Amino acid sequence: MRNKILEVIVPILFSPIVILGFILSIIISIFLYPFFRVSTGKSIIFEVPIKIKGLKVGYIFRGPIENILGNKLLFFSEYPYTLFVNQKYIEQLPKEIYNHDDIGYSIKQKQTVVAIFETKKLKFFDGYFPAKLISYKIIDREPEFSK
């Protein structure tokens, strides 16, 4: 079964159209980078529960440059739903409850990390500047899962 799946997926992933699309998204990301660094100037603070996301699919044009800069996309159960956060802040979260390297939480996890982030609204796009972790707390509530 696994070999059948690989026989279908591998040719698609290495097709010229997919490779060209990936290269174009990186080039567009580099050209749009300056616009992702212009903010409105006002700081905003969010207190949001971190959500478990199975597939971490983010922004096609912003994601590549943010990943190069060490900013990872975090998902939340409440608005703003997603924020880019620097890896050094993600590493401050308790690893026994939230581990960003895998799917986030273990399936048996009964606690949720509620993080407080400070960020700024982007001027030219509907989004936010990479967020800075201020603090976090752990609450006794099952985390929200999604694909």
Residues 6+ apart with CB under 8 A from 30: 65
Residue with tokens 């616009």: 35
- Classify 5 as helix, strand or coil: helix
| β-strand partners of 116 | 47, 135
pLDDT recorded at residue 45: 94
Residue spans of the chain under pLDDT 50: 104-105
Beta strands in the chain (DSSP E): 39-49, 52-53, 71-75, 82-86, 112-122, 132-139, 145-146
pTM of the model: 0.74
Task: Kindly tell me the number of DSSP H helices and DSSP E strands found in the chain.
Answer: 4, 7
Structural domain boundaries enclosing 137: 2-146
For 24-57, how does the pLDDT look when each residue is reduced to its tens digit (9 = 90+)? 888 888 888 888 788 888 899 999 998 877 666 6
Total structural domains within the chain: 1
